[in-house]
């Protein structure tokens, strides 16, 4: 199941949102390893193949959650 990873960046009013095909546990483990000091960069890849490298020192907060399937058409009303 795909998840959204929302990352708040220090000194920035916007957050980075990565929609990834990783499971919630895999995404959480990647974030936890980076924040534990094992890595200097948080590395994530989205469902379209784009790669994100975020310096751990710039991370303000991280939210890992299941992404909502967007409804299209008359069923969305």
Instruction: Report whether pLDDT(29) > 60.
Output: yes
pLDDT in tens, 33-64: 898 987 899 999 999 999 999 999 999 999 99
Of 10, 72, 2, nearest to 44 by C-alpha is 2
Residue 25 lies in a domain: yes
Q: Residue 54: which domain range?
A: 3-68
User: 3-class DSSP state for residue 56?
Assistant: helix
Residue 77 lies in a domain: no
Domain count, the chain: 1
Residue 44 lies in a domain: yes
CATH of the domain at 44: 2.30.30
Residue 50 lies in a domain: yes
pTM: 0.77
Average pLDDT over residues 8-35: 91
What count of other Cβ atoms lies within 10 Å of the Cβ of residue 61? 10
Query: How confident is residue 15, by pLDDT bands cut at 50, 70 and 90?
Result: very high
Instruction: Report whether pLDDT(71) > 70.
Output: no
What is the structure's pLDDT at 66?
77
What count of other Cβ atoms lies within 10 Å of the Cβ of residue 74? 6
Residue 74 lies in a domain: no
């Amino acid at each position: 199941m795909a998840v959204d990873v929302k990352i708040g960046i220090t000194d920035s009013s916007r957050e980075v949102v990565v929609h990834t095909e990783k499971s919630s546990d895999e995404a959480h483990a990647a974030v936890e390893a980076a924040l534990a000091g094992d890595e200097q960069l948080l590395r994530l890849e989205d469902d379209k193949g784009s790669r994100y490298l975020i310096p751990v020192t710039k991370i303000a907060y991280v939210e890992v959650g299941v992404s909502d399937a967007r409804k299209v058409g008359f069923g969305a009303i």
